[in-house]
Structure 1
Amino acid sequence: MIQSKMKWNFTYRDLSQTSEGLAGVTPLTRQLLEKREIYDAQTAESFLHPSLDDLHDPFLMDGMEKSISRVKEAIAQEEPILVFGDYDADGVSSTTLMVEALRKAGADCDFYIPNRFTEGYGPNEAAFRFASDSGYAVIITVDTGIAAIPEAAFAKELGIDLIITDHHEVQEVLPEAFSIIHPKTSADYPFQELAGVGVAFKFAQALLGRFPKEFLDLAVIGTIADLVPLKGENRILAAVGLQAISRSNRPGIQALREVCSIEGDMNEETIGFTIGPRLNAVGRLQDASPAVDLLLSESLEEAKEIAAFINQLNQERQKIVAAIAKEAEEMVMNQEGDTDNVIVVAKEGWNPGVLGIVASKLVRQFDRPSIVLAIDPEKGEAKGSARSIAAYDLFANCMEVRGRFLHFGGHAQAAGMTLKVEEIEGLRRDLIQLAEEKLSEDDYQQVLEVETTVALEDISLKQIEEVDQLRPFGMGNPKPLFHLKHTPKEVRLIGSKKNHLKFQFQSEQARVDGIAFGMGDLYSQLSPQATLDIVGELGINEWNGRKNLQVMIKDIRVDEWQLFDYRGSKHIEKNLVIPPAESYTAVSFRNQTKAPLDLPVFRAEDLPREGDMDGLLLIDLPQTMSQLSELLERLQVRKVFACYHLEESTFLKTWPSRDHFKWFYGMLLKRGSFNIEKESDLLADRKGWDRSMVEFISEVFFELDFVKIKNGIITVASQPSQKDLNESSLYREREEQLQMERTLYYSTYKELKDWFDQHLNQPSKHVKEEVVYGL
């Protein structure tokens, strides 16, 4: 039995109960759409076939008309315009898009992205003063600025018209800017979840007076990389943008394709795991300007040089993240008591630019909201990032203790902050208290929303193509997860560190591979022929022109007890691994004292009359079968390890049949006597028996008073009584020993498992059985 690491939420209903408003689609597609609250044909059509015609008028957004008017005035008067961006992938793509749009409109413009390490996040007074001194009277922010209240006031003092375009959470007070373009401050704008680049795209459309399709390859980067919900306008920009970026002739995109070895069409995973991280890496380690230069470049040769540099930075970023994550994990593991409800770790020397990634790793490992801070001892400040679990709104809870921060901003699941070092402990206490008040124990367990249960033979290329109609997947439209119950034909460790699992599931009609990244620790916990329950994403693995069905496994559980067969093995210590949260018990029936892994050994009779055990190690064979069956019937055991050896086998010796006994007795009657010591070997050779069989037959006859034995000479008793062989205790013991060896030692794995199934008092399943609706 293996418990799942996450909570499985089976969300599906009986397909016969679904809405009739979605006629014309398959039951699976209908179910997937209804899960996304799509119940009518028109909405379904818009979702399955995103169209640019469904985008909203940019002038519905408050501040748009005023802002466009001011920009056109600046262009007419030849006033230079500064685009003030952010250093992540959304900010970089927003900055690039805004600069290109302004230049197409005839503006004299440049861009400025603050240095994360020397300036921090967002607008700052020093940058605004520099802009003013450089002759800029108009500044347009992209993907930042909604929390820049003192900075906006300072810009006004300098005579700068500050136009804020942003999408981050709005705080209690808005900046006093020339204008603000933000979906969430625009009551009449139908969609409020645009990314920063989406807002910039709307600005470009309004400024140019046409639909700027040439910017779709930029819009898709920030929309997907910034993890905004992929629904409404975001879904349209992402879907159409993926087509655009796949065909893009932009030198920067071409160079990224080459350095990342991207072939064919791009999808959301290409952006999220390949393009986005590299653009993010620049601002995480240094000034983010090269990322904008890459996307603005008109020279393929120049773009290739920048892309190679950015790729190198990304590799360096990965090493830094790994080192900091290891330190942070050790800090959490080494704290006394249980893990805090909210993790807050801080240390000098950490790179502030990568702490968001580290925080994400802590959330995945410990299922806790996590804040990771880098301490600057000279300033006495700590700066860092936070990531959260679904049930804990990071932005809302941090806003309740807003006074502890020097700077704070972000979303429900991600935020950035700066605070005095002396505030760190107070922040930890406050957030832990808020978590204790608002969250239950279940809230700390990750939840997998399972679409439906699917049989192995129902998984097909057609079905997966049907699921792919819902692409692009992401926030607000997660990739569907499916439940599969099957016994794998093969399980093996893969990867250079052997930390991943690969399964082969096979039936007469189908074969599906399963990949479980990072789950290599389960290898020793999976017994042969164990039926697995898995939840994962269905997909196609294409290699050398062949398409193989596969499931990318997110979680695994085993509901049944498991048998691990180490009979006669000399390598038990190598294969036996006790998970940290489990405890195993070794039991002996024959007073053996040595157990694998130096576990303490209990005599069978000393174990409690009843109990619940993670693992039971049988280190020797019982004296009788009933001795073992009685033990198993009173205990509840999740895993049984057959670790016993057999020094001397009864099973391998020749077992005498009743005809053997009959012939031997007739021989005695004919001869009158038999010298056991001198004649046993001769008889055994002549009959093809074993000497021990001759001796055993003699001892059974002696016990039954059929013969007399004196000085090694056996003779027939004068008046033997009529008795059956089973009346001999020696015969019965040998017969039981033979049966025990046959059942417990020389049986196949399946035969041994079947015997234990009949006698084991199996623990109740901890997972509720779900009603299953197939596809």
Structure 2
Amino acid sequence: MIKSNKNWKIHRPEQQNVDRLMRELKLPSLHAKILASRGFQEPADAQAFLQADASVLHDPFLLHDMDKAVTRIQSAIENDEHIVVYGDYDADGVTSVSVLTTALERIGADVSFTIPNRFEHGYGPNCELFQEIADLGATLIITVDNGVSGIEQTAFAKSIGLDVIITDHHEMGDTLPSADAIIHPRHPEGNYPFGELAGVGVAFKLATALLGEAPLDLLEFAAIGTVADLVPLLDENRYFVKEGIRRLRMSSRPGIQALAKVGGTEQRQFTEETLGFMVGPRLNAPGRLGDADVAVELLKAEDAAVASGITNELDRLNKERQALVNGITEEALQMIEEQYGQNIPYVFVLAKEGWNPGVIGIVASRLTEKFYRPSIVLAIDAAAETAKGSARSIDGFDLYQELVKNKEILPHFGGHAMAAGMTLSLSDVDALRNRLNEQAQQILSDEQLIATVEIDVPLTIDEIEVSVLESLEQLRPFGMAFPKPMYMIEDVTVGSIRKIGSAKNHLKLELEDGGNKLDAISFGDGHLADEMTHGMSLLVTGDLQVNEWNNFKKPQILLQDIRSDERQVFDLRGIRDPLRWIHTVPKDNVLYIAFQQQTKTYFTPILQGTEIVLFEERSRSERIEHIVLLDIPNQEEQLAELLNDYNPGRIYAHFYAPDSRYFEGIPDRQEFGWYFAFLKKRGTFDLSKQAEQLAKHKGWKIDTIYFMSKVFFELGFVKIDNGVAIIEPAAGKRDLAEAPAYQERKRQIEMEERLLYAPYQDLKQWFQKVQQDNAVEEEIVWT
């Protein structure tokens, strides 16, 4: 057996829905299964979703206060007022700034932008920066991707003569800032049809309202921010990303071209994954380590040389960021080991001086991914006696709502269910840790503390073709609320098993289903090769890809998890020296069993440090997952009993048999008859002196003569006195099979035939049958 790393939650789409989508939309079964799994039943709805054209765009004036904002901005332009766009330092923030400043420039505004420094000013509105903006002569601030929590800061801005328009998408509190306008897709007084816009989406809607039409060329920026901020890719967001990526693939913007080059990606092959894993991190990097202004300058650059220089700097900062993240992650893991050992808490709250506040959100994400626990990572400012950091959560633990319960010790915090940021007094860190763990203990069950993989596309290998995988483009983009499919292939067998990579730490399999084959790769799972056997049955889940090598394309699956409910039998029968195979046996939860005392005596000095247990002396209370069978049982029932006691996932079959009888067989009746007539004619026969001579004469082994003599003795045909066989004249007729020695020899040969000399597949099937029989017995008991 191979246990999966996560809970598998398998969703099987209704086949009739799949068939209808295939038939009416002319889709491959793979595409139809994805759509059916995501709730599409009507072909018309699925078709509209796939098209995702500009018709999905809503009237921007449906947003609350949009009319007020546009009126105030137009007034500022008419009166030559200076407008400052006040952004955030992440990818959503810098793309929001780029969208809105570009739109304002197009309608003749006197506009500049300001982005707070994460380390000097923190997140969101800042009174010091607002004062600087006022001192420079600005009269209107428009926030993008922030501001809805800046109650005090907005009041300050108003007190010094600044007007404030807030555009944001983050969680709104019970009290809103006293701004001149607040544009938010979930405004409590609004009725906008789609509430899940990213910050850049809100900025795009304001730009549309100002320009009188949607600035479609700015969807290049909107796509980046929308993907980076992990908002649901539905409704307008889906169109922003789908159309934005189409435009990015042929963009003439120097910044986009430079990002593609430094990322080693062909621009025409941009996908949502390119934005999420290549573009987004580089735009985030400067804001994590210093000033984010340079990211906006890159996106708006008009000169290729300037764009190239900025991109190289962003790439350098991103590598620096990666090194910082790796270092802090190692320190955090060491803290967890020292503080908790194996007793992992419900919630991690880790704090240390010297950690970079700009990257600890990524560290929190890594910890949550590794341990599947909500994680808060805080950077300590000893001088200010504060701790500032980021948090990431898991399903079932609404991070924002749980932090709200602690707002008296959290003077500054914000975020949503799965991520948050905060600043608190250093003296309250322990209290926050204790409180959150108590809250989590009340909310989270043991089941919720195991990561779940949602599988919604069960497939067979014959559905997987290169052309089908390449045509998945029409279903993109994948992301939040329309996630990348998690494929499952069941009832496949292992055709070949290889460890690959310089360290042999990766796994490559060839999966087979009848005459169909599929390559499978699993990174970091090379050790599983020692747990697999040829022909074993597997269920696998992962991501389907097209592998191209030397201009030849073939599909493959990049595995995320593997499961096998089948008991694994490892054939060690042909390896006489146990030192050649013992390293393949796990060290924990393993039982080395011997059925014969002589086997235990033989192996004890060879397998030094390994406990060998006799069958009759085993403990049934132990938890055993792996059993090593050192020799052959006397009876088949012993082996069945052993497997029933422990139900091991793996069996290592060595079956040491120094006195094998299989090839000797049992003398036939003619041989028994000749030997008995020989004894009867002689009356007595000295086995110790004459057996060897008789064996040579007949071409028998000496053991054969002793065996037949023992059978005759047990049947009462002869008596044996000091090695001399003496005929019993009054002995009656009896069947040879009545002799215990005869029965034992026959049983030993049958056991050797079944266990020691059987082909591997026959041996495996025998163990599988025992497992199935046990399962049936258990079912009968429980029902």
TM-score (norm 2): 0.87
> Are residue 748 (structure 1) and residue 759 (structure 2) matched?
yes
Deviation of residue 156 (structure 1)? 1.6
Can you list the C-alpha shifts for 1:90-126, whole angstroms capped at 9, x where unaligned? Answer: 1122222223223333333333222222322222122
The Cα RMSD (Å) is 3.5
Structure 1: how far apart are the matches of 2:699 and 2:258?
82
Partner of 1:738: 749
Say which of 572, 580, 591 aligns to 1:571.
580
State the partner residue of 2:331: 327
Equivalent in 146, 152, 157 of residue 159 of structure 2: 157
Distance (Å, rounded) in 2 between the aligned partners of 1:236 and 1:261: 26
Aligned match of 1:773: none
| Contact 2:487 2:543 (8 Å CA) reproduced | yes
* Counterpart contact for 1:515–1:552, Cα < 8 Å: yes
> 1-side partners of 2:49 and 2:15: how far apart?
20
Aligned to 1:183, the other structure's residue is in SS state: coil
Match of 2:236 in 1: 233
d(CA) in 2 for partners of 1:549, 1:21: 24
Q: Would you say 1:381 and 2:390 are equivalent positions?
A: no
Distance 1:523 1:22, change over 3 A: closer
Map 1:168-317 to 2 at 5 A: 168-185=170-187, 187-263=190-266, 264-317=268-321
After TM superposition, list the pairs within 5 Å mapping 1:101-140 onto structure 2.
101-140=103-142
CA distance in 2, matches of 1:174, 1:596: 73
Unaligned runs of 5+ in 2: none
Task: State the Cα distance separating 1:652 from its structure 2 match.
Answer: 5.5
Aligned-partner SS, 1:747: coil
| SS class of match (1:559) | coil
Deviation at 1:88, TM superposition (A): 1.5
**Residue-by-residue CA offset, 1:538-588 (whole Å, 9 max, x unaligned):** 343333333322333333322233333344442344212256xxx333433
Give the structure 1 partner of residue 546 of structure 2.
540
Q: CA deviation at 1:693?
A: 4.3
Which letter maps to 1:289?
A: D
Distance 2:96 2:587 in 1: 51
The superposition leaves residues 345-394 of structure 1 with CA deviations (integer Å, 9 ceiling, x where unpaired) of 22222222222222122222222211111212121111111111122211
- Structure 1 residue 648, shift from structure 2 partner: 4.5
| Contact persistence 1:467–1:480 (CA under 8 A) | no
The 1:73–1:639 alpha-carbon spacing in structure 2 relative to 1, beyond 3 Å, is: same
What's the secondary structure of 1:194's corresponding residue? coil
Could you tell me whether the CA contact under 8 Å between 1:586 and 1:601 is conserved in 2? yes
Shift, 1:703, TM fit: 5.7
Q: Aligned partner of 2:320: which letter?
A: E
1:492 aligns to what? 498
Cα gap change, 1:401/1:495 in structure 2, threshold over 3 Å: closer, same or farther?
Answer: farther
Distance 1:439 1:597 in 2: 46
Once the two structures are TM-superposed, the CA of residue 758 in structure 1 deviates from its matched residue by: 3.6
**Which consecutive residues of structure 1, in runs of 5 or more, have no partner in the other structure?**
769-775
- Structure 2 residue 345 is matched with structure 1 residue 354: no
Determine helix, strand or coil for the equivalent of 1:570.
helix
In 2: Cα distance, 1:507 partner to 1:691 partner? 52
1:140-151 matched pairs, under 5 angstroms: 140-151=142-153
Which is worse superposed, 734-743 or 670-679?
Answer: 670-679
Residue 630 in 1 paired to residue 641 in 2? yes
Percent of residue pairs bearing the same amino acid type: 41
Larger displacement relative to structure 2 (459-468 or 41-50)? 459-468
Q: CA deviation at 1:53?
A: 2.5
Q: Deviations over 1:275-318 (max 9, x none)?
A: 21222233223322332222222222232232223223323322
- What one-letter code is carried by the residue in structure 2 that aligns with 1:377? A
Q: Give the direction of change, closer, same or farther, for the CA distance of 1:494–1:115 in structure 2 (3 Å limit).
A: farther
Cα pair distance change 1:347/1:643, threshold 3 Å? farther
Between 1:316-325 and 1:269-278, the stretch displaced more is: 316-325
Q: Where do 1:73-112 residues align within 5 Å? A: 73-112=75-114
Alignment of 1:300-449 (within 5 A): 300-334=304-338, 335=340, 338-449=343-454
The whole-number CA distance in structure 2 between the counterparts of 1:693 and 1:211 is 98
Residues 196 and 232 of structure 2 are in contact (CA less than 8 Å); yes or no, is this contact kept in structure 1?
A: yes
Which of 501, 517, 523 is matched with 2:507 structurally? 501
- CA–CA distance in structure 2, aligned partners of residues 195 and 323 of structure 1: 31
* Match runs of 1:687-706 below 5 Å: 690=701, 692-693=703-704, 696-697=707-708, 700=711
Report the 3-state secondary structure (helix = DSSP H, G, I; strand = E; otherwise coil) of the residue aligned with 2:648: strand
- Measured at CA, do residues 369 and 597 of structure 1 come closer, stay the same or move farther in structure 2, by a change above 3 Å? farther
Aligned partners of 1:360, 1:326: CA distance in 2, in Å?
Answer: 13
Cα 1:234/1:497, change in 2 over 3 Å: farther
Q: Distance in 1 between matches of 2:314 and 2:689?
A: 91
Deviation digits for residues 704-759 of structure 1 (CA, Å, limit 9, x no counterpart): 66678889888988787644443443333333333333322333332222222343
> In the aligned structure 2, how far is the partner of 1:562 from the partner of 1:762?
16
- Secondary structure of the structure 2 residue equivalent to 1:309: helix
State the SS of the aligned residue for 2:511. strand
Secondary structure of 2:358's aligned partner:
helix
CA–CA distance in 2 between the matches of 1:552 and 1:436?
35
Quick one: structure 1 residues 590 and 679, their matched pair in 2 at CA, closer, same or farther if it must change by over 3 Å?
A: closer
User: Which residue of the partner structure matches residue 24 of structure 1?
Assistant: 24
- Work out whether residues 250 and 298 of structure 1, in 8 Å CA contact, stay in contact via their aligned partners in 2: yes
| 8 A contact 1:636–1:762 mirrored in 2 | no
Cα separation, 1, equivalents of 2:218 and 2:433? 43
Distance apart, 1:698 and its partner CA: 5.6
CA distance in 1, matches of 2:688, 2:534: 49
1:656: Cα distance to partner? 4.5
1:657, CA displacement in angstroms?
4.6
**Native 8 Å contact 1:19 1:39 kept in 2:** no
Tell me how far apart the structure 1 counterparts of residues 62 and 50 of structure 2 sit (CA, whole Å): 26
Q: Is the 8 A contact 2:494 2:533 kept in 1?
A: no
**How far off is 1:439 after superposition?**
3.3
Indicate yes or no: 2:463 matched with 1:458: yes
1:262, distance to aligned residue in structure 2 (A): 0.9
Match of 1:562 among 565, 568, 572: 568
Structure 1 contact 637–763 (Cα < 8 Å) conserved: no
- Conserved 8 A contact 2:17-2:41: no
- Once residues 677 and 715 of structure 1 are traced to their aligned partners in structure 2, the CA distance between those partners, rounded to angstroms, is 13
Is the 1:94–1:197 contact (alpha carbons within 8 Å) kept by the matching residues of 2? Answer: yes
**Conserved 8 A contact 1:611-1:634:** no
Q: Is the 8 A contact 1:638 1:763 kept in 2?
A: no
Corresponding residue SS for 1:742: helix
| C-alpha contact 2:493 2:513 (8 A) present in aligned 1 | no
Structure 1 counterpart SS, 2:649: strand
TM-score, normalised with respect to structure 1: 0.88
**More off after superposition, 41-50 vs 250-259:** 41-50
Contact 2:20 2:43 in 1 (8 A): no
Task: Check whether the contact 1:654–1:690 (CA below 8 A) recurs between aligned residues.
Answer: no
Counterpart CA distance in 1 for 2:362 and 2:72 is 39
Which 10-residue stretch deviates more, 306-315 or 453-462?
Answer: 453-462
Range moving further from structure 2, 241-250 or 96-105: 96-105
1:484-503 deviations in whole A, cap 9, x for unaligned?
Answer: 22222123334455444332
**Following the alignment from structure 2 to structure 1, what is the Cα–Cα distance between the partners of residues 775 and 329?**
38
Cα distance in 1 for partners of 2:276, 2:699 equals: 75
Superposed displacement of residue 454, structure 1:
2.5
Contact 2:354 2:380 in 1 (8 A): yes
> What is the distance in 1 between the residues matched to 2:180 and 2:607?
75
CA–CA distance in structure 2, aligned partners of residues 624 and 318 of structure 1 = 61
